[in-house]
Amino acid sequence: MGNWKVWMKKGGITLLAAFVLGVVAQPVSSHAYAAEVNAEIPQVIEKASPSVVAIIGKPSSEMDKSLETNRFNLAHGTGVIVASNGVIVTNAHVVKNMKNIVVVTSDGTTYRGHASNIDEESDLALVKIDATGLKPATFASSSDIKVGETVAAIGTPISFALRNSVTVGIVSGLDRSVSSQYQLIQTDAAINPGNSGGALINMKGEVIGINTMKYADLGVENLGFAIPVDTVKYVLKNFELYGKVKRAYLGLELEESWEAVVGLPSSTGLRVSYVDADSPAAEAGIEQDEILVSVGNSAVKTLVDYNEAIKTYLPGQSVDIKLQSGAATITKTVKLGELASKEVTLTGDNEGGTSIDADSGKTKIGDSHFGWSMKYPAGLVKRQQSDDGDSISFIDAKGEFALAIHVDDDQSDDLSPSALLNKLAGDDSSNYSSGGTTILERQYVKRAESPYAKVVSRSGEEGYVQTRGYVHGGRLYTVQLFVTKEQYTNHSKQNIYNDLLDSFKLSFNNADGSLKDISVFNSDDVTYTSEYGLSIDLPAEWQQDHGGSTSFYNDDYSQAVHVNVTSASSGDTLQNWIDRETGKFEAQYTADYRRVDKPVELTVAGVPAWKVSYASSLGDEWEAGSSLFFIKDKYKYEVQMTYPQADQGEELEKAWDKMVASISVNKETMDGELGFIQDLDEITDPDQTTLYKNEKFNYTLRIPEQWTSIRSYDGSDPVSKSFNFTGGYLRVDTDSKKAYADMVKDAEDGQKTNHNNDSDYKYTSEDVTLFGDVKAKKYTVSYTKKHIPYTETVYLFTRKQINYTVTLRIDDAVGTDANVARLNKAFTSFTFVNGTGGK
């Protein structure tokens, strides 16, 4: 059976979801044959290994720049030499985001390299190094590859120190369609992280494929995949002729049969699910729901079949497409267009420095903002750092020790030595202590430059912690070193650790080129870039919403910036859009509780834009905001800043102008998978309703779709159900235990008590008939609660031993005719499950 599993591309770590099909086990080779093959393997490896290289570099990430600055954060993979002058083929996922590429040949020679061509669809790329006289690999023919033949994988698994490692297995299967646009070779030769881009060779020493991924799951072993040699040759030829892979374009979206999806042999072709307008397929008359049977002479039943067939044609060529249209089989000739290549920005050769070591030449480390520095051993690796840098921890690359530095800004300089020692001895903020601490040493060390308190303690059975505390400039600096018992009792190691701790200084020399600054404190604006191509600068202290949305907030969440992106519908204009949004706002509040200023025309990101300022209140504090509207590259962008109206002033206006001036839209940085994003305000009807049914308490209601309601945790029909909108709600409370007369008496007593306690609380009561024949009690309340005036109508009635209390509340601020009508209509839709009720 098929199961959703995880596919791991080897090299730069990439996870892909794929549908796994059952694989038939291959016959086991005879002992005699195995012995013969084993005798050949060393000679084969000796022949092929010089053509395989190891590739290492720094990973690049726009989302997390710390990946590039950590000297131990490296990515590696493998490559195969295809030309003696230094042309190497590897996987695209290995080098796509790799900086400062270094290539090491099998004899240990090191070269600087750069990615020259990348094709993500095939997952192949070229790396160029400045070399001559290299040994190119010999490529086999795909037609010669046989299931069951012995193969070897050469690569750089797990660690760069293991480059040119060899694993041996067999070809387990051919024409596998897993997580790839093209067919793959399956092998049981062990493929591990770092093998990506390496050679899969036969027993002639010929390359039959480029290793690309393995299947990773508990209990699964030796299930790897390689790109077949004919696909490699196809891509290399396109690189040579055009600098990219030219792919033919029909303009079809195709859908596989159910059998093909789950891996069963399919008897049908591919259904045409969509035909692009003005595409070659449309011009040839291909229509939706026709079944594509073959491309040229190649039958196609899966998407991989289709891709394999179409790759044999170039843009501009014509091909016969056989289709099943109803009961008829027809052939249509299509003149192929060219598929737009996905743009890939090649990483600069020397971005972030010329060395693969991000910290080359740095022998000291420190924080310029908090003013400290110390020695920087080659094996020191940053583990964690707080957002503003006041807390940071390190580990040793060999796992021998851990180091933590914490800076407390709120500390008096006149802390006495004894108080400082007590503070350190009782300090439970250690990242490493595990309780049960025994103090082994405690002293105040006097030295001219920076005296400190020192506490050495044993934590648990194996842990030893040395803590040093320094008071300087209103700050307490705490430095902690953790080592195991084995390291603690090693005197030479102790000398090394003490030397590291002794190097800690309460100063930072900006002129020292050997000193690495790890400060993350930033008082400048930070640029946020979205997948919609929009960039905007906001103050450094602002934080993005934790849900990953395009909303940003200041420290106390009183001010916010929201970014909303939708597609511009055909015929829509900037003026129509603004009128629609303004009308929606004005329809939500009554005139006394809202304000909309006249739009101001601007230019943003090189296109016309309008600024609309507004404010609203429910009766207490006023909330204000400004929205910026513009349309660019078929998308509508709204950038909205909201804030308390009391914050308005020159300072806020300057912040707005600065933010607007920073806005830019770059089409090249847009997510390539973006499609049409409907603006819901264009199609939303505020009067559209949906049916709510409470079977336990025998009633239904038709509620406006835009109202909100919280579902019960267990999914049961609740005793109390509330439907909410801005400034109001409709709530239904039910009771099947109390007598109806008692419920009415309690309600009457409650209303009287509220009025007696506060004369501003006014109510009227009357007996009414609901839904034609249901006797009810009605209370109408008007009151101002916490400066928010509202009107509340309460209905009490009973039916079949179930008592109902329905409360309709609406604040005066949103008491427009439309909102009041919507609320009343929702109530009059009340219907008992057996059919009695409102209309």
Task: Find the helix or strand (DSSP H, E) in which 794 lies.
Answer: strand 788-799
Q: Is the pLDDT of residue 622 over 60?
A: yes
- What was the pLDDT predicted at 439? 86
- What was the pLDDT predicted at 836? 54
CA 531 to chain centre: 10
Q: Is the pLDDT of residue 573 over 50?
A: yes
| pLDDT-derived band at 74, boundaries 50, 70, 90 | confident
CA 99-101-104 angle, to 5 degrees, is 160
Q: Is the pLDDT of residue 307 over 90?
A: no
User: Which has more confidence, 414 or 546?
Assistant: 414
Say which DSSP state 341 is in: P
Task: Round the average pLDDT of the chain to a whole number and report it.
Answer: 84
| pLDDT-derived band at 162, boundaries 50, 70, 90 | confident
| pLDDT-derived band at 65, boundaries 50, 70, 90 | low
| pLDDT-derived band at 13, boundaries 50, 70, 90 | very low
Say which DSSP state 548 is in: S
Task: Find the helix or strand (DSSP H, E) in which 605 lies.
Answer: none
What letters, b where the CB count within 10 A reaches 16 and e where it falls short, cover 186-206?
A: bbbbbbbbbbbbbbbbbbebb
Mean local confidence (pLDDT), 199-224 = 77
Q: Is the pLDDT of residue 501 over 90?
A: yes
**pLDDT tens, position by position, 423-480:** 887 744 443 333 447 888 899 999 888 899 999 988 777 788 999 999 988 899 999 9
Burial of 73 (0-12, 13-18, 19+ CB in 10 A): middle
**What DSSP line would sit under 5-36, residue for residue?**
EEEEETTTTEEEEEEE---PPPPPPPHHHHHH
CA 697 to chain centre: 44
Query: Which residues form the catalytic set?
Result: 93, 123, 196
Fold observed for domain 689-832: Protein Transport Mog1p; Chain A (3.40.1000)
Q: Is the pLDDT of residue 524 over 90?
A: no
Q: Cα(812)–Cα(819) distance, rounded to whole angstroms?
A: 11
Q: Is the pLDDT of residue 165 over 90?
A: no
Q: Is the pLDDT of residue 190 over 90?
A: no
Q: Cα(836)–Cα(839) distance, rounded to whole angstroms?
A: 9
Burial of 300 (0-12, 13-18, 19+ CB in 10 A): buried
Q: Cα(349)–Cα(99) distance, rounded to whole angstroms?
A: 6
Q: Are 155 and 195 in contact (CB under 8 A)?
A: yes
- What was the pLDDT predicted at 782? 96
Q: Cα(365)–Cα(379) distance, rounded to whole angstroms?
A: 13
Mean local confidence (pLDDT), 659-681 = 88
Task: Find the helix or strand (DSSP H, E) in which 756 lies.
Answer: helix 740-757
Amino acid at 653: E
Task: Find the helix or strand (DSSP H, E) in which 825 lies.
Answer: helix 817-828
Task: Find the helix or strand (DSSP H, E) in which 505 lies.
Answer: none
| pLDDT-derived band at 22, boundaries 50, 70, 90 | very low
* CATH number assigned to the domain with residue range 364-517, chosen from the 4 options 3.90.650.10, 3.30.1360.70, 3.40.1190.20, 3.40.1000.10: 3.40.1000.10
Q: Is the pLDDT of residue 28 over 80?
A: no
Q: Cα(551)–Cα(562) distance, rounded to whole angstroms?
A: 4
Fold observed for domain 3-242: Thrombin, subunit H (2.40.10)
* Superfamily (CATH) of domain 248-338: PDZ domain (2.30.42.10)
Mean local confidence (pLDDT), 724-730 = 96
* Token pair of 179 as six digits: 């997580």
Task: Find the helix or strand (DSSP H, E) in which 827 lies.
Answer: helix 817-828
Same topology, domains 526-682 and 689-832? Answer is yes
Least confident of 351-365, 462-476, 748-762: 351-365
**CATH architecture, domain defined by 526-682:** 3-Layer(aba) Sandwich (3.40)
Q: Cα(121)–Cα(180) distance, rounded to whole angstroms?
A: 8
User: Which has more confidence, 62 or 697?
Assistant: 697
Q: Is the pLDDT of residue 25 over 80?
A: no
**pLDDT tens, position by position, 674-705:** 888 999 999 999 999 999 999 999 999 999 99
Q: Are 393 and 383 in contact (CB under 8 A)?
A: yes
Q: Are 201 and 189 in contact (CB under 8 A)?
A: no
